[in-house]
Amino acid sequence: MARVFFPQFKKGKQGIEVEKGSILSSARKLGIEIPSECGGKGLCGKCRVRVEGKEALTPRTEIEKSFKLGRDERLACQARVLRSGSIRVFIKSLGKYTILSDTIKDEIRLEPFVYKKNGKVFWQDRQIDKSKGRIYGLAIDVGTTTLASQIIDLESGKRIATLAGKNPQASFGDDVISRIDYTMRNKNGLKELQNIVIKEINAGLTRIAEEKGEILEDIYEAVVVGNSTMRNIFFGLDVSSLGVIPFEPLTCEPINRKAKELGLKINPQANVYGAPLIGGHAGADALADIIATGLYKAERPSMVIDIGTNGEVVIGNKERILTASCAAGGAYEGAAISSGVGAVEGAINNIRIINGRTEYETIGNKPPLGICGSGLIDLLGELLKNGIMSRKAKLKDDFFITPDISISQQDIYQLITTKAGLRLDQDLLIKYYPATLEEIDKIYLSGAFGNFINPDNAILIGLLPGARNKVIRIGNGALTGARQMLLSREKRRDAERIARKIEHIKPNEREENFSYIVAEKMYFEDEDDLRA
């Protein structure tokens, strides 16, 4: 039996005994994330690790030989334990991740479901504890790539602490389809994915308790949002129906569970509320965006664009709300791009081409590791403006930012395909509403991607509609909406009421020539328009 160590991690320094299986599976057992966009199928090559003690592993596979691996490098999904020995594994893409937890200010009347009365703590009309003086709540945004949460004082609305990190489910695949597939192919897959995300949230809560004292018993309610897959996995609900036609959840209804049932390390009697889903892959996170922006109360229609691994677009006002979602994949989060990385320290996040010279900035001013989403948007815009890429999205040769970091024609194809789907949803929802771009009051950008991109370059390449003066960044709108549903009964009632009224549109089913119009959106405007 071999022992596999991960020295970069506290929980991996003692190692794990392994009789068989891959390095990737060993990491998963320890709760250590190794990037694996393809879910361990040997397609992406992103699970590259450096290994000491490779004699205890199987020889390189044909899949590994197709990648340019260094002498001591292996793909974690392909390298399997063969014989006894000591194996030390170093993850190459390790870096501190930048997670967006900034939110807009709440302008609501405080009326939480949890309250104190006569020395007792109640949730609605049910006593759940004796009062110890403090009543807190927890807002949680379970993203496909990231986790963000906030501990909130339910009496003052004050933010006590903010937690942010990567969703460890990413080692099972970078998109929801990979994770749905994992639950369908593995008997305990759903429970495994549920446990790993709750364990990560608990680890963050434990760190906060160490800093601020024993406050976890004072958290009496949590509100959870996420796309349809992420919310349902969190609560241990079957997600298989989201992976097959017609791609709908088994139920869109809100959920209430006790914390002790889920293993969440807050007060055991605390209520854990899962906000309702809209339909399809449009989940509680999109609903939370709608609550946060207040567009459901507005006279004029506005749009919300939330670009992530899943992309959601909303248009509406108090009369009518339409939403559409598309599996954007991870292209703009660095996935499927040869030099792409997430928003880690060292990621190129800002690029300019001036007089033929490429200038860039990196997150944390660290040496460049690759290009993250905002940098990819800038790069496409700069290549287009400088005539290096044609309006038909063609490159003559690979373009190098550094000697080791470049973008290829295949990368361009991945980016414009994702761009086309996101932009088409925007244009079609405006058409279906119906409205014109001029009639749209505001365009809200939600999520990390929307918060950090250069809107001018995003408009230039056609990712966003050309109305720069209407663009408003709202930070993590999903977390804002979750917090407001935690603090306000009215907001929670609003969410449940409008969730049933929102029309979830599936453009691919409505448009006869859907594939053709997607292809049209892949390319760029005429050169005369770009110079205008």
104 or 59, which is more confident = 59
Q: Which two tokens stand for residue 454?
A: 């250069």
The predicted structure's pLDDT at residue 531: 40
Q: What is the rounded distance in angstroms from the CA atom of residue 424 to the CA atom of residue 491?
A: 31
The predicted structure's pLDDT at residue 346: 85
Percent of the chain clearing pLDDT 70 (strictly above): 93
The predicted structure's pLDDT at residue 304: 96
Q: Per DSSP, which regions of 261-343 are E strands?
A: 271-274, 302-307, 311-316, 321-326
pLDDT higher than threshold 90 for residue 12: no
Q: What is the rounded distance in angstroms from the CA atom of residue 509 to the CA atom of residue 301?
A: 24
Q: Which two tokens stand for residue 58?
A: 């199987």
Q: Per DSSP, which regions of 208-264 are E strands?
A: 219-226, 255-258
pLDDT-derived band of residue 528, with 50, 70 and 90 as boundaries? very low
pLDDT higher than threshold 90 for residue 276: yes
Mean pLDDT confidence for 274-287:
96
Q: What is the rounded distance in angstroms from the CA atom of residue 132 to the CA atom of residue 335?
A: 47
The predicted structure's pLDDT at residue 93: 58
Residue with token string 């990567």? 166
- The Cβ of residue 330 has, within 10 Å, a number of other Cβ atoms equal to 25
Mean pLDDT confidence for 330-346:
73
Helix (H, G, I), strand (E, B) or coil at 244: coil
Helix (H, G, I), strand (E, B) or coil at 241: helix
Percent of the chain clearing pLDDT 90 (strictly above): 60
pLDDT higher than threshold 50 for residue 532: no
Q: What is the pLDDT of residues 253-272, one digit of tens each?
A: 999 999 999 999 999 999 99
Helix (H, G, I), strand (E, B) or coil at 470: helix
Phi, psi of 27, rounded to the nearest 5 degrees? -65, -40
Mean pLDDT confidence for 521-529:
66
pLDDT higher than threshold 80 for residue 446: yes
How far from each other are the two terminal CA atoms of the chain, in whole angstroms? 67
Q: Could you give the C-alpha distances from 407 to 95, 168, 183, 234, 380, in angstroms and in order?
A: 21, 28, 34, 36, 10
Lowest-pLDDT range of 93-107, 232-246, 480-494: 93-107
The predicted structure's pLDDT at residue 380: 94
Question: What structural domains does the chain harbor?
Answer: 2-91 (3.10.20.30), 114-286 (3.30.420.480)
Q: What is the pLDDT of residues 131-190, one digit of tens each?
A: 988 999 999 999 988 899 999 999 999 999 999 888 888 888 778 988 999 999 999 999
Q: What residues pair up with 488 in beta bridges, in sequence order?
A: 111
Q: What is the rounded distance in angstroms from the CA atom of residue 165 to the CA atom of residue 69?
A: 29
pLDDT higher than threshold 70 for residue 334: no
Q: What is the pLDDT of residues 187-244, one digit of tens each?
A: 999 999 999 999 999 999 999 999 888 899 999 999 999 999 999 999 999 999 999 9
- b/e burial code for range 48-70 (CB count within 10 A of at least 16 → b): bbbbebbebbeebeeebeebebe
Q: What is the rounded distance in angstroms from the CA atom of residue 376 to the CA atom of residue 371?
A: 6
Q: What is the pLDDT of residues 387-436, one digit of tens each?
A: 999 999 999 999 999 998 999 999 999 889 888 888 999 999 999 999 99
- The Cβ of residue 179 has, within 10 Å, a number of other Cβ atoms equal to 26
The distance of Cα 90 from the centroid of its chain, to the nearest Å, equals: 25
Sequence-distant (6+) residues with CB within 8 A of 311 are 305, 325, 326, 327, 328, 421, 422, 425
pLDDT higher than threshold 70 for residue 85: yes
pLDDT higher than threshold 70 for residue 361: yes
Contact 137, 485 (CB under 8 A): no
The predicted structure's pLDDT at residue 366: 84
Sequence-distant (6+) residues with CB within 8 A of 445 are 305, 306, 307, 451, 453, 455, 464, 471, 472, 473, 474
Contact 80, 56 (CB under 8 A): no
Q: What is the rounded distance in angstroms from the CA atom of residue 182 to the CA atom of residue 175?
A: 11
The amino acid present at 441, given as its one-letter code, is: D
Whole-model pTM? 0.83
Question: Taking all residues of the chain, what is their mean pLDDT, rounded to a whole number?
Answer: 89
pLDDT-derived band of residue 530, with 50, 70 and 90 as boundaries? very low
The predicted structure's pLDDT at residue 527: 42
Q: Which two tokens stand for residue 463?
A: 């990712």
The predicted structure's pLDDT at residue 326: 79
Q: Could you give the C-alpha distances from 503 to 231, 235, 315, in angstroms and in order?
A: 20, 25, 10
| Backbone conformation region of residue 516, classed left if phi is above 0, alpha if psi is from -120 to 50, else beta | alpha
pLDDT higher than threshold 80 for residue 104: no
Mean pLDDT confidence for 105-128:
92
Torsion of CA 158, 160, 166, 172, to 10 degrees: -90
Q: Could you give the C-alpha distances from 443 to 117, 225, 423, 521, in angstroms and in order?
A: 43, 22, 13, 20
